[in-house]
Chain A
Amino acid sequence: MELFEECQVISSLIDAGREQAARDKVIELLSRLERGANGYPEVVNHLIRSVGLFPYIHAPSAAWQDRFAVEAFKADVGAGKRAALHIEQSRLLSKLLDGESLAVSAPTSFGKSFVIDALIAIRKPARVLIIVPTIALMDETRRRLQKKFARTHRVLTATSDHMAEGQFIMVCPQERAISLADQIDELDLFVVDEFYKASSDFDPDRSAALVRAIVRFSSIARQKYFLAPNVERLAASPLTDGLEFVKLDFNTVLLKVSNHFESIGKDEKAKSERLRSILASAPGKTLVYAGTHAQVEAVASLLRLWRRGSKSELLKSFSAWLRTHYGAAWKLPELVALGVGVHNGQLHRPLSQIQVQLFDEEPSMEILVSTSSIIEGVNTSAENVVIWSAKNGSGRISDFDFRNIAGRSGRMFRHFVGNVFVLDEPPPAVETQLSLELPECLLGFADVDGASISAEQREHCDSFRGDLARVMPTADVRELLEGRSLQSSDTAQIRVIAQRIAANPKDFRALRFLLAEDPERWSIPLYRVIDLSSSPWGVPHNEIVSVVKVLSDNWTSTIPELLERLESVQVNVDKFFKLERLVSYRLASLISDINAIHGKIVPDRGFDISPFSARLSAAFLPPVVSALEEYGLPRMICRKIQGVGIIDFESKELTAETAIAQLKEHESNIRSWSTFGEFDRYLLKHFYEGVRGE
């Protein structure tokens, strides 16, 4: 079709009031048009304006009326930059600037986060809390905001000694936010990204903590902005009181979905062949959603057969770096050398971050194979998404997840059209109605006392508090439930701990051995603690105990050395990642809660194991080193810096903030050290870029 005819079709769609169809056609047209030095033909710019996609207008080649429209829709988006918003972003921003609190559902490519930046830049709220679902998303958000707002706000991801002073933007997951609640008295803006995760239908394990955070911070926030993709309706609930639900279908990229699953059926060989032909023919980068670890492995095996070694020196050095630091037996170094990355929620954080970065920036990193970790809003610039398996770790994915995964393809300004290849039968399409409720497991925490609850729920609170009061003084019950000493958001778990300790207090005398220097003395108390969990661990308990003991040398030993010591319990590097995460989060939290409750039930016990849970929560690394991994700086690099002696990461006085200040101070010195290899330098560059303002 000639350009003129295409424009006529689009124009007719606009006249007929079919804006979305017109917008899709415009996006499709833009994907085919090469924008040369002269920009777009005037008529195309005009059509872009007519469908509200102002950011896509090429101002120099547009008519003055269209240029004027672009200017009118420009807003300060931080760091003094003005950028055009599309029409729905602009409407949304306008409501927020009027002070309204909103719960917004909009497609993945809408640019919901961009609106946060504009709101902060224009309204300049002094105290901002942004809750994100994962540490990966936390770092991505922190990096974006640090660049834009470092001059006006302290962009934080953890507690700071000077929280009360000056303006801050705190970005963190819900659990960390709860632990900070006592340090934040008021908020000017409270943002919850991916707020659908407050429903147990979407996140059974962590929804309660998110609800708890929402209840706690909503009560002190002047304005709220909750974001989610693809939610059709939001049921009325006390948790969303005062929020206007805004459903927007405005898309800025076009998804082209091609279904292959019907012709493939159950034929695994045909599926593999189809994947091979897609990868060979689809232009640009491809994200392969494999769903489970087993399927990631299956896809990786195929890619190892099909792909030739990358010529990229950067990927070669990354591969060598991985072999050195994680051992030659691991499969990731081989895949990286083939231009393939792997994304899952268990890898050491700098490894996930750097692979996403390479996928975005390094032409030779062409494929990223992922588990469900990619659903949770990690932004990549994949032109294509292959849905290899419509499953996740716990069964078949929902239609909601399916749309989220598909939405990872295409990206504003980079790929107008995202191609989605479906190789496994997708779930039936359903409209997502979100209903946020106060879960039973929170009833009893002081945080939710302010929420409006039914008489039945009140009875539940009283029953829980009564059970605790039977085993400890009432004042201690109050202190436990009002303070921040408990990390769990599950009253059932707290009740189990309290009742088991009270029934057999002498069984828990052994907890004191967790303070012993010799890790061999930790086994029995660890088994007893592990057994107090009210939900299964998913791995044999002896593996957990073995990993904790071996991890005690995490700072002084290399990972291949640790793995060698774990050979007897068949813990390989992949399992090591999983177990390290499990013990440093779940087990450390459980031990911390057991310690707090045990101290109340047996006040004269004569010991306190909080130093052990603190060490475990950092996986026995110096706490600052563990925190810096969230910023993308691997422990191996910190160890080298420690070795040279210019920064003492083991110092108890050092915080992440002061460590970053020292790292910045010595930047040119550190980056020029001959002790660092090529990939160390790349990692340092990535780290420094993320802690600098513009």
Chain B
Amino acid sequence: MGVAKPVELQSKEFRTQGEAREFFSAMLKRYKVGAALSDEDSALLGQLLRRHRCYDEIVGCGIDSFTTTIAEEGSKCFAVLRDDGTVCGFSYHKCITRAE
């Protein structure tokens, strides 16, 4: 059995990556495509996004707000609505695992 890998965010801690995945998967399900995330969820997602290896690229010119979009493969994902109106989707899995 592998060792549990905790995911520590500024304001929330998950004992395992599985627990974090479950939490953000449930969050994603709560929102329709294009919807604005609540302040509370935005704050947590912002903390999670900092773990993404392409953080700077995703944020681009700056974050207007967090939302959801449809990824290229057709599934729903979290996204950053940038200050210039462009949208950049990202995988919360990659944030959790810090994968490329």
Q: Mark B39-82, 1 if CB is under 8 A from A, else 0.
A: 00000000000000000000000001101011000000000010
Interface-located stretch among A129-137, A475-483, A503-511: A503-511
Interfacial residues of chain A within 501-551, with CB under 8 A of chain B in the complex: 504, 506-507, 509-510, 512-513, 516, 518, 520-524, 526-528, 530-531, 541-542, 545
Contacts of B6 in A (CB 8 A): none
Chain B residues with CB below 8 A from A510, complex form: 36, 64-65, 81, 85
The verdict on A506 contacting B65 (CB below 8 Å), with A527-B35, A531-B34 known, is yes
**For the complex, is B95 an interface residue (Cβ under 8 Å from A)?**
no
Contact B33 A541 (CB under 8 A): yes
B34 contacts A526, CB within 8 Å?
Answer: yes
- Tell me the minimal C-beta distance from B89 to chain A in angstroms: 11
What is the size, in residues, of chain A's interface with B at 8 Å between Cβ atoms? 22
Q: How far is the CA of A528 from the CA of B68 in the complex (A)?
A: 11
Give Cα A530 to B69, complex, Å.
14
Closest chain B CB from A598 CB (angstroms): 14
Contact, CB under 8 Å: A531 / B32: yes
B100 sits at the interface (CB 8 A): no
**With the chains together, A504 CA to B40 CA distance in Å?**
13
* Cross-chain contact B34 with A527 (CB below 8 angstroms): yes
Find chain B residues with CB under 8 A from A542 CB: 33, 70
Interface residue tally for chain B (C-beta within 8 Å)? 15
Q: Are A520 and B36 in contact (CB under 8 A)?
A: no
With a CB–CB cut-off of 8 A, which chain A residues contact B85? 510, 512-513, 516, 518, 521-522, 524
Q: Are B32 and A507 in contact (CB under 8 A)?
A: no
The count of A-to-B residue pairs whose CB atoms sit within 8 angstroms is: 52
Per the bound structure, the CA–CA distance linking A419 and B8 in Å amounts to 78
Contacts of A527 in B (CB 8 A): 32-35
Q: Which residues from chain A contact B34 at a C-beta distance below 8 Å?
A: 523-524, 526-528, 530-531, 541, 545
Specify the chain B residue showing the minimal Cβ separation from A568.
Answer: B74
Contacts of B32 in A (CB 8 A): 527, 531, 541
Chain A contacts for B87, CB-based, 8 A: 520-521, 523-524
- Using CB atoms, name the residue of chain B closest to A530: B34
Contact A507 B70 (CB under 8 A): no
Q: What is the minimal beta-carbon distance from B15 to any residue of chain A, in angstroms?
A: 33
Chain A residues near B33 (CB-CB < 8 A): 527, 541-542
> Could you tell me if B70 and A524 are in contact, using CB atoms closer than 8 angstroms?
no
Closest A residue to B79 by beta carbon equals: A524
B86 close to A (CB within 8 Å) = yes
Nearest-neighbour CB distance to chain A for B34, whole angstroms, equals 2
Q: How far is the CB of B10 from chain A (nearest CB, A)?
A: 22
Q: Within the complex, which residue of B36, B64, B86 is in contact with A528, where a contact is CB–CB below 8 Å?
A: B36
> Given the complex of chains A and B, what is the CA–CA distance between A510 and B67 in angstroms?
11
**Least Cβ–Cβ distance between A542 and chain B, in angstroms:** 6
Contacts of B84 in A (CB 8 A): 516, 521
> Which A residues are in CB contact (< 8 Å) with B86?
518, 520-521
B79: min CB distance to chain A, Å: 8
In addition to A521-B86, A531-B34, A542-B70, 9 A-B residue pairs with Cβ atoms within 8 Å of each other are A510-B85, A512-B85, A516-B84, A516-B85, A518-B86, A521-B84, A522-B85, A524-B81, A527-B32
**B interface vs A, CB < 8 Å?**
32-36, 64-65, 67, 69-70, 81, 84-87
Can you identify 28 A-B contacts, CB atoms within 8 angstroms?
A506-B36, A506-B65, A507-B36, A507-B65, A510-B64, A510-B65, A512-B85, A513-B85, A516-B84, A518-B85, A518-B86, A521-B86, A522-B85, A523-B87, A524-B67, A524-B69, A527-B32, A527-B33, A527-B34, A527-B35, A528-B34, A528-B36, A530-B34, A531-B34, A531-B35, A541-B32, A541-B33, A545-B34
